[in-house]
Amino acid sequence: MKLIIQIPCYNESETLEIALNDLPKKIDGIDEIEILIINDGSQDNTVEVAKNWGVNYVVNFKRNKGLAKGFMAGLDACLRNGADIIVNTDADNQYVGADIEKLVRPILDGKTDIVIGERPIMTTEHFSPLKKKLQRLGSWVVQKASKSDIPDAPSGFRAYSREAAMQMNVANEYTYTLETIVQAGRNKIAQTSVPIRTNGELRPSRLFSSMFGYVKKSMLTILRAFMMYKPLRFFSVLGGVIFLVGALIGIRFLFFFAQGTGNGHIQSLILSSTLMMIGFQTFVIGLQGDMIAANRKLLEEIQYRVRKMDYDHDLGEIKKENDK
């Protein structure tokens, strides 16, 4: 059983070695533990620090592509190098390395395919009261969108089985954390969470420049994921609300018309007709989106099978090299 720990990095030369030193060297049930970093266009000596420490693999981007792209590139590299389990953690040592055993244990026991670390958000000192409330609100929204019970959706400390990793797709360029939970929930991939610890803050978060920006991007990511995986429900609700408003305005017009004063409310009739047409058209868009979603599922299944053949071939080549 091979575990590869992947660490996305962007100008992390000051904290990377601390995070690497904190990683476990041995875990019961794991035969090999290897380290991979994703250098997301760093302009400092992050790569030199990683190589001097002795990481096994380095994925290099010539320019910054963002956390989501880095995450997917890391999964690809881990799978190609024969990972049975992939753990994602941060380069700022936010998470306690020893808790990686907690993440991989449910996968080793065959209970689940994805494990997400649940941070003690309410007792984390460097989280502001507003951030704590927004984290809980965001996690609640993701739970509803994904039909899961993951209590800490933004947590980047997580483990994937090989099968789960091959099924992951991230469409947005902001972050992978929210979309992958929604995707796993909608595709019925087994996922759970375990309580983990956090270390003190070594540097401010670089994922967002302001709380408003974080909320806006997170909500757009959740909304987009929900539209991708449940378009008929989303557009049916939206179209239904618009159609209902139009119908109520139409009923109001009919009331005045029955009293003989309809001539003064022609605008209401026009608005009612317009809203009802928009509502119906929105529902039709939902039907089209549902057909596209069904087609996407077929494409994802094809992609999974192609990935499996590709990665299994690479794994076979690695085994041949090791046997020489």
CATH of residue 6's domain is: 3.90.550.10
Grade residue 6 by pLDDT with cuts at 50, 70 and 90: very high
Residue 88, pLDDT above cutoff 80 = yes
Q: Which domain holds residue 43?
A: 2-229
49 and 135 both lie in a single domain: yes
Which tokens in the block code for residue 251? 């009923």
Q: Are residues 109 and 156 in the same domain?
A: yes
Assess whether 219 and 292 both reside in one domain: no
Strand positions, DSSP E, 77-157: 85-88, 114-118
pTM metric for this prediction: 0.80
* Domain limit, last residue, from 229, 248, 279: 229
**239 and 225: one domain?**
no
Q: Which of 68, 72, 118, 87 is nearest to 224 (CA)?
A: 68
Residue with tokens 């299944």: 301
Query: End of a domain among 229, 250, 265?
Result: 229
User: What whole-number distance in Å separates Cα of residue 195 and Cα of residue 97?
Assistant: 13
The answer to whether residue 6 is domain-embedded is: yes
Q: Is the pLDDT assigned to residue 305 strictly greater than 70?
A: yes
Give kind and range of the element (H or E) at residue 168: none
Examine the domain organization and report whether 224 and 249 are in the same domain. Answer: no
Range 223-234 average pLDDT: 80
**Domain check: are 125 and 50 in the same one?**
yes
* Residue range 10-37: mean pLDDT, rounded: 94
Q: Are residues 243 and 122 in the same domain?
A: no
206 band by pLDDT with thresholds 50, 70 and 90: low
Residue 261 falls within a domain, yes or no? yes
Pair (109, 241) in one structural domain: no
Per-residue tokens: 156 = 């980047």
Pairing verdict, β 158-161 and 2-9: unpaired
Q: Is 177 domain-assigned?
A: yes
Of residues 36, 214, 182, the one with CA closest to residue 114: 182
Cα gap 55→20, rounded to integer Å: 9
185 and 248 both lie in a single domain: no
Helix (H) or strand (E) holding 72: helix 67-80
The predicted pLDDT at position 266 comes to 82
Judgement on whether residues 193 and 271 belong to the same structural domain of the protein: no
**% the chain with pLDDT above 90:** 49
* Residue 180 and residue 59 in one domain: yes
**Residue 319 counted as domain residue:** no
pLDDT, one tens digit per residue, over 262-275 is 676 788 888 999 99
Q: Does residue 95 lie in a domain region?
A: yes
**Diameter of the chain measured on Cα atoms:** 95
Amino acid letter for position 78: C
Distance separating alpha carbons of residues 42 and 59, to the nearest angstrom: 12
Domains in the chain, number: 2
